[in-house]
Amino acid sequence: MADERRAIEQRGLYFEEFDREVRYLHRPGRTVTEADNVLFTTMTMNTQSLHLDAAWSAEQPFGQRLVNSMFTLATVVGASVTQLTQGTIVANLGFESVRFPAPLFHGDTLYSETVVLGSRLSASRPGQGIITLEHTGRNQHGDVVVVAVRNTLVWCRDAAP
Residues 6+ apart with CB under 8 A from 151: 92, 93, 94, 95, 96, 130, 131, 132, 133
pLDDT digits (tens, 9 = 90+) for 105-118: 999 999 999 999 99
Q: Is residue 13 part of a domain?
A: no
Q: Is residue 140 part of a domain?
A: yes
- What angle do the packed helices 69-84 and 34-43 form, to 10 degrees? 100
Q: Is residue 112 part of a domain?
A: yes
Q: What's the CA angle centered on 88, arms 82 and 94, to 5 degrees?
A: 85
**Whole-angstrom distance, CA of residue 35 vs CA of residue 18:** 35
Residue 2 has pLDDT above 80, yes or no: no
Within 10 A of 5 (CB to CB), how many other CB atoms are there?
A: 6
Domain that holds residue 149: 21-159
Query: What is residue 7's predicted lDDT score, i.e. its pLDDT?
Result: 84
Q: Is residue 3 part of a domain?
A: no
pTM of the predicted model, to two decimals?
Answer: 0.93
Residue 133 sits in a domain whose CATH number is 3.10.129.10
pLDDT digits (tens, 9 = 90+) for 115-149: 999 999 999 999 999 999 999 999 999 999 999 99
**Whole-angstrom distance, CA of residue 98 vs CA of residue 78:** 15
